[in-house]
Amino acid sequence: MTVPWLTVVGIGEDGLAGLSPAARAVIDGAAVLVGGARHLALAASTDAECIQWTTLDETLAAIEARRGSAGVVVLASGDPMVYGLGATLARRFDPAEMVVLPHASAFSLAAARMGWPLQDCRLLTVHGRPLEGLIPHFSPGARLLVLSADGTSPAAVADLLTRHGFGPSTMTALWHMGGPRAGRREGAAETWTAEPVPDLNTLAVTVEAAPDARVLPRTPGLPDDAFRHDGQLTKRVVRAATVSALAPLAGQVLWDIGAGCGSVAIEWMRAAEGGHAVAIEHHAGRRAMIAENAATLGTPGLRVVAGEAPAVLAEAGPAPDAVFVGGGVSREGMLDAAWDALKSGGRLVANAVTAEAEARLLDRRAAWNGTLTRIAATHLKETPGGLHVWDALAPVTQLVAVKP
């Protein structure tokens, strides 16, 4: 049986006075106390060996060097398991070796001050993460609670909201909640001043769209003109069917082979909460478009791999849960290499327009017990004379197969 040796204690702006008797007893009995300068100061005087937080690697190494020793205590802000240090430690050490004593999180404190039910809020952070990751959550009426990186974050979030057509959104910056230095600033995103607030702040945002805002859903099938592209784009109707067939789930990984402008990978990440995607594209100009589209549409974590598949698939990283082959279907070895890389139980979706590519899909359908679907769509188009005709897109044959 594993015996816990590491205790993680959440502490707030009210210091020792705000701790439960159990948490206070742990700190009083600590042999080693680890924390940032602010945390150690909140813990007041102690006879324990104090290790001040430096870099993540150095401090984790210092904790690991004392593995199994009695009385190792790490101080963390608020609830250590909410975008906090406790989650980092749980990835490094067996959770059975740890005891976590949480304090109220910044999210809980902010929700209490705003009078918002916490379950109705979206809990987000820009601390150590790209600001653009907030964009998919910009929908009218949404309530966002955002952990800031520093005192400049509120102004940066206000600018992002305004640039995306959500300038009327109301914002409240709350700092040093629960302590004697607590304060707040309120205002609309479009009129928010650039003056920084204290670094230790959390944002509460009620999202409101301007009359001319372009509100984009997270469901698959964004308008084609939402993406910058050079024509190499999976069109809206086909893209919606493709992402649906890929069945994005939270935390899963997609490889988008022959990604073009990255539309399928981006829509996968918008649909799969916490999902990851790798866009594989050999054309340098299109890779630049992928990066631009990912930032604009709120998926800055999209990873781009340069090169031509299947040769570069070894560089794509961990085995994917889903693979989309949108380009190079007729290339020798492409489909087999994608299938081999796929996890057991994973899904492969491949689209073909040419007869040669379709022949490959027909062959693999039988071998992989897959299904084939023909996708065809027509759009109403105005002629130079002002009349309207139906304009047909090239039919797309789609293979969907699940790996045993």
Structural domain boundaries enclosing 277: 224-402
Q: Phi/psi zone of residue 276: left (φ > 0), alpha (ψ -120 to 50 degrees), beta?
A: beta
Rg, Å, the chain Cα set: 26
Angle between helices 355-368 and 334-341 (to 10 degrees): 40
Judgement on whether residues 192 and 252 belong to the same structural domain of the protein: no
Instruction: State the pLDDT at residue 3.
Output: 83
Judgement on whether residues 285 and 366 belong to the same structural domain of the protein: yes
Judgement on whether residues 270 and 166 belong to the same structural domain of the protein: no
Q: Give the helix ranges, DSSP H, for 164-235.
A: none
Residue 130 domain flag: yes
Judgement on whether residues 94 and 49 belong to the same structural domain of the protein: yes
Residue 215 domain flag: no
Burial of 198 (0-12, 13-18, 19+ CB in 10 A): middle
Number of domains forming the structure of the chain: 3
Buried/exposed code over 137-167 (b: 16+ C-beta within 10 A; e: otherwise): bbeeebbbbbbbbebebbbbbbbbbbebbbb
Residue 375 domain flag: yes
Instruction: State the pLDDT at residue 350.
Output: 97
Both structure tokens of 180 = 């004697």
Instruction: State the pLDDT at residue 135.
Output: 97
CA–CA dist 323, 337 (Å, integer):
11
CA distance readout (Å), 193 to 153, 156, 172, 362:
12, 10, 12, 60
Residue 218 domain flag: no
Residue 155 domain flag: yes
Q: Which of 180, 206, 232 is the last residue of a domain?
A: 206
Ramachandran angles phi, psi of 310, nearest 5°: -85, 0
Instruction: State the pLDDT at residue 2.
Output: 78
Q: Which of 206, 238, 266 is the last residue of a domain?
A: 206
Instruction: State the pLDDT at residue 399.
Output: 98
End-to-end CA separation in angstroms for the chain: 37
Instruction: Tell me the CATH number at 398.
Output: 3.40.50.150
Judgement on whether residues 152 and 33 belong to the same structural domain of the protein: no
Residue 143 domain flag: yes
Judgement on whether residues 146 and 274 belong to the same structural domain of the protein: no
Q: DSSP secondary-structure letter at 394? A: P
Instruction: State the pLDDT at residue 45.
Output: 75
Q: Which of 22, 391, 147 minimizes the C-alpha distance to 7? A: 22
Instruction: Tell me the CATH number at 191.
Output: 3.30.950.10
Q: Which residues of the chain have pLDDT under 50?
A: none
Judgement on whether residues 315 and 391 belong to the same structural domain of the protein: yes
Q: Determine the length of the chain.
A: 404
Instruction: State the pLDDT at residue 388.
Output: 95
Burial of 356 (0-12, 13-18, 19+ CB in 10 A): exposed
Judgement on whether residues 98 and 113 belong to the same structural domain of the protein: no
Residue 211 domain flag: no
Ramachandran angles phi, psi of 194, nearest 5°: -80, -5
Judgement on whether residues 153 and 280 belong to the same structural domain of the protein: no
Ramachandran angles phi, psi of 107, nearest 5°: -65, -45
Residue 1 domain flag: no
Judgement on whether residues 231 and 201 belong to the same structural domain of the protein: no
Judgement on whether residues 20 and 80 belong to the same structural domain of the protein: yes
CA–CA dist 48, 187 (Å, integer):
45
Q: How many CB atoms lie within 10 A of CB 367?
A: 11
pTM: 0.91
Instruction: Tell me the CATH number at 65.
Output: 3.40.1010.10
Residue 212 contacts residue 369 (beta carbons within 8 Å): no
Q: Which of 76, 104, 132 is the last residue of a domain?
A: 104
Judgement on whether residues 235 and 314 belong to the same structural domain of the protein: yes
